[in-house]
Structure 1
Amino acid sequence: MEAPGSPLSGIKVSSETGLLKRLLIHSPDKGLGKVVPSKAQDWLFEDIVHLDTMRRDEYDYYVKILLYFLDPEKVAGKIKQIDSDASRSFYIPGHKNYFDSDRVIDIQNLLGQILTEEQVRIKLTAAICGIERCSYQIQQELETYEAHELAKIFISGSCPDKRMLFAPLPNLIFMRDIGIVINDHILLNKPAKSARTRESILAQFVFFYHPLFAGMKEKVIEIPDNERHFLLPDEEKANDHNRCTLEGGDVMMVAPSHLLIGCSERTSVYAAQQVMNILFEKNVVDKITLIKIPKKRDYMHIDTIFTQVRKNTWVLLASLARTGDNAKLKDALHYFAAKEANQEFRILKFTKGREQQPTEIENLEDLLADISKNDLGCEEAVQFIYSGNNEFPYGEREQWTDSCNLLAIKDGVVIGYDRNDKTLEAFKSHGYAVISAKELIAKFECGELSPVNISDTFITLPSAELSRARGGSHCMSMPLLRV
């Protein structure tokens, strides 16, 4: 890691499209290969994926693209050598051939590093065994494993001899959900489902004990529990006023002074209110906009509905873009269908010092245009690129496979899936180049293109298996530093 005071020291994210310098990821681990149909729903995983294809043919391209932009010395001129290794040792934390970047960072590697400290190891093992109800014998067995092997077990749930000690964490590839950097603070999640509790504990230990986050303990924000929740009848606990749950896919740092929080099936209004109170009290941001979306599996988080491409450009689902604008409604059928579909959609903007007088914003496009113009100072016209090119039925079809869930590496350069053809057509019509990760890497290798000079580009990832997991490149990242 860089020394304090170096250009890459510190943790700070103040936008969605600033130049990405450091992020957390997690490569698909063997736990994904242990998901069975009877438990998929309990483990919050959408489908049964082919792990080897997901790794070799899809996610590995994601890692190489990120390294080429953020830490090119790790991959430049080495792609053939990396690809020829059947063992994939380049991608395995703890292996001597691991890429071990301090800019593209796998949380499993950080976990392995902190587990070399005896006191951390004892505390974390006890915590995991407690929530997983492990026997004393299992706890004793875990003490015998080397640190990086133990990190693998904590994540995958499986021992080297293939025994499953506890459930896998297939959702850990979606690193966005464990937390989010808000300026120079880190907000930890509070998962809605018990299947993700172990993820939260692992993240908590990494953020509090790893040297990368040294000196940040006072800037790590944990949402307090709702004490009333424990006293309520079971049927009332699911109410948004009583639940206290939040996931990072519902939080977007869109400008230095402005944070968006989605209220969804995974993030409650109560938790959003608690976060708002804390951030205003700590003077972390001046404005927080709550976006209440329908609690439908189609959406889950706000980053499945929209993400930012450039300061003046957003990709979004058209059916939720202008829910209150009757001028957009073409006929009676459209009118009633839209009203029924969007009855839970609402946007409220809160300003520090005037929390009791929020401003209601009727349409998502109006909110996003205001962010581009007034928060980010864009003088160019604000552009909207629609999922499926706003053609029926492709808008909803492609949103389901994460057409709106894009990670900006820098302003105007994004990573997304290759399968959303109509959305890619829309990007091309707005002047964006569309290039596959494989082709781009080849052009980088021969010097035809450079990560430094590339602009207005959509980089496509192979996605036959990744898209079955119901999360895109935005979900698969937790930016730690943007400049």
Structure 2
Amino acid sequence: MVTQETPVATSPIHVSSEIGTLRRLLIHSPDRGLGKVVPSKAQDWLFEDIVNLDMMRRDEYDYYVKLLLYFLDPDKVRGRIADLAPGTDRGFFKPDDPNYFASDKVVDIQVLLADILTDEVIRTKLIAAICGIERTSFKTQQKLADYVPTELAKILISGSLPDKTMLFAPLPNFIFTRDIGIVINDHILLNKPAKQARTREALLTQYIFFNHRVFADYRDKIIEIPDNEHAFLLPDSDTARDLSRATLEGGDVMMIGPRHLLIGCSERTTLYAAQQVMRLVFEKNVVDTVTIIKIPKKRDYMHIDTVFTQVKRNVWVLLGTLARTGDEAKKRDVMHFFAPKDLSEDLKILQFIKGLEHKPIEIENLEDLLTDISRNDLGATDPIRFIYSGNNEFPFGAREQWTDSCNLLALKDGVVVGYDRNDKTAQAFREAGFDVVSAAALLDRFERGESSPETIENTFIMLPSAELSRARGGSHCMSLPLLRD
């Protein structure tokens, strides 16, 4: 049985900064798979903890969606906030709910998956590919073909049938749409996940970007990272090394300026992958400068967007212990005396200019790099300022970085979304002259006409985050911008 496609308008895809006014993005609201993560498998599925799904949806992610809509597609929510309180099981943020907001600016990737599954050829190929990856029986493959596209999309993502039977593992990390790909000017870089738990996620993403009509004009601008062509001949001990593996996740890639790309080498992204991306974007003349940032391979950091993100043209939030001016916090950190190696020693920054790749420029620290980006890539004339995780106080810098104090999504220059549990970081924003306001209070201001997305400036918006923070990803992780001014 086949249903009609959900109307999603085609529009330009272009991102050339982290702070230009956000116009369109991909998200994925928490699905039923998150409620099936069990403690014994949580870390294998890349979750640090189990979550209360209803609370995550109803009390937290719901505010995220309403904020995004108010900024990107206000007609969907203006005057309706009080009427859009979700039920205990589902809310207006889920694509299969009768009250779903159905925006073509805030787009749930589940909608795009359901759309392409209306094509019988794509449907057959994708079911076969996923059943092959998950090693299911042939009868299961046949059974999946009987579901309508909207339900099949939910099954392929959540791993479970409508009757709650689990066929295969859920994809709890699919809420972090940043990791599946990144827009670099008018090109799209697809990820290559490091962990087996995200293999199905990457396959679904591939099918969506290469087959959905939204991306029809960009299919020849999709960049996929090649593997080492002889990797299959190497011993397992060698294929596990950074020099031969091509693994990359979008949290390690930032389109930071019109012609400047940042790539992190981290727990999830290898040097080999970073080199391949640099080669391809230079060959395609997408950017002129690539800066590779090597951070410690620690679960605490995972991606560069857990260490720093941009707030406005001349303001950044970052982790002090990996920065130059984090020295005072390090001195107060008792662990610094037991493990005297400075974590910033594990930080290495090399900048490559197109045509001069053999002569990389070494940059000493993050502040110097970010100052240079603000001034020379973005034309900032005001003094460059840094806001540090936990206000650079021990032990709050590390504690709050763990709950994504440095992982912020800019809705426009100077207006960012973060988590409400990071009190010291919020204090640092206040001291820097920012208005710090809860998502609920801001939406109330909008509804009363006391403020608007067009007039708001220098604001740190706090999302409720008791459950969202357990997933180890912030608002930056939960967004894949497709279009920015």
Question: Structure 2: how far apart are the matches of 1:245 and 1:476?
Answer: 20
CA drift of 1:331 comes to 10
**Equivalences for 1:220-369 in 2 at 5 Å?**
220-322=222-324, 339-369=341-371
* Match for residue 408 of structure 2 among 406, 409, 425: 406
TM-aligned CA deviation for residue 114 of structure 1: 1.1
- Runs of 4+ in structure 1 off by over 3 angstroms are 1-4, 84-89, 325-340
Extract unaligned runs of 5+ from structure 1.
none
What does 1:109-124 correspond to in 2, within 5 Å? 109-124=111-126
Once the two structures are superposed, residues 165-220 of structure 1 have per-residue CA deviations (whole angstroms, 9 ceiling, x without a partner) of 11000000011000000000000000001110111111111111111111211100
- TM-superposed deviation, 1:89: 4.5
Secondary structure, in 3 states, of the residue corresponding to 2:429? helix
Structure 1 residue 336, shift from structure 2 partner:
9.1
Q: Give 3-state SS (helix, strand or coil) of 1:227's partner.
A: coil
Gaps of 5+ in 2: 1-6
Q: 1:328 to 1:174 in 2, by over 3 A?
A: closer
Match of 1:167 among 165, 169, 175: 169
1:441-482 CA-partner distances (Å, limit 9, x unpaired): 111111111111101000000000000110000000000000
Bigger Cα displacement from structure 2, 86-95 vs 146-155? 86-95
Letter in 2 for 1:411: D
* Structure-2 residue corresponding to 1:33: 35
Q: Which among 459, 481, 484 is matched to residue 482 of structure 1?
A: 484
Contact 2:231 2:244 in 1 (8 A): yes
Does the CA contact (< 8 Å) of 1:322 and 1:328 recur in 2?
no
Equivalent position amino acid for 1:28 in 2: P
SS of the residue 1:161 aligns to: coil
Tell me the equivalent position of 2:4. none
Give the drift of 1:65: 0.3
Q: Residues 121-140 of structure 1 correspond to what in structure 2 (within 5 A)?
A: 121-140=123-142
**Residue in 1 that maps onto 2:210:** 208
Deviation at 1:327, TM superposition (A): 11
SS in 1 for 2:84: helix
Larger CA deviation: 351-360 vs 212-221: 212-221
Q: Distance in 2 between matches of 1:35 and 1:166?
A: 12
Whole-angstrom CA distance in 2 between matches of 1:50 and 1:329: 35
Count of matched residue positions in the alignment of Structure 1 and Structure 2: 478
Of 52, 55, 59, the residue aligned with 1:53 is: 55
Between the aligned partners of 1:12 and 1:385, the Cα distance in structure 2 is 28
Structure 1 residues 270-279 or 204-213, which shifts more? 204-213
TM score, norm. by length of structure 1: 0.96
RMSD: 1.9
Letter in 2 for 1:154: L
- Describe the shift of the 1:331–1:432 C-alpha distance in structure 2 as closer, same or farther (beyond 3 A): closer
Tell me how far 1:227 sits from its aligned partner.
2.6
Cα distance in 1 between the residues matched to 2:86 and 2:158: 26
Report the Cα distance in structure 1 between the residues aligned to 2:329 and 2:120, rounded to whole angstroms.
62
Distance 2:219 2:480 in 1: 18
Q: CA deviation at 1:45?
A: 1.0
Q: How does 1:28-107 map to 2 (within 5 A)?
A: 28-83=30-85, 85=87, 88-107=90-109
2:177–2:480: 8 Å Cα contact kept in structure 1?
A: yes
Q: Quick check: 2:33–2:160 contact (8 Å CA) kept in 1?
A: yes
* 1:446 equivalent in structure 2: 448
Does the aligned pair in 2 maintain the 1:329–1:335 contact within 8 Å?
Answer: no
Query: Which AA in structure 1 matches 2:70?
Result: Y
C-alpha distance in structure 2 between counterparts of 1:16 and 1:92, whole Å? 27
Q: Taking structure 1 as reference, are residues 288 and 335 closer, same or farther at Cα in structure 2, changes over 3 Å only? A: farther
Q: Are 1:464 and 2:472 matched, yes or no? A: no
Q: How much has 1:92 moved relative to structure 2? A: 2.0
Contact 1:82-1:88 at 8 Å conserved across structures: no
Which amino acid in 2 is paired with 1:425? Q
Shift, 1:96, TM fit: 3.5
Distance 1:55 1:3 in 2: 26
Give the secondary structure class of the aligned counterpart of 2:24: strand
For 2:385 and 2:149, locate their aligned partners in 1 and report how far apart those are by CA, in whole Å: 49
1:370 is aligned to 372
Matched residues in 1 for 2:85 and 2:223: separation? Answer: 40
Query: Match for 1:321: what amino acid?
Result: A
Distance 1:161 1:88, change over 3 A: closer
1:329–1:52 CA distance, 2 compared to 1 (3 A): closer
Deviation at 1:343, TM superposition (A): 3.2
TM-score by length of 2: 0.95
**1:350 Cα shift?**
0.2
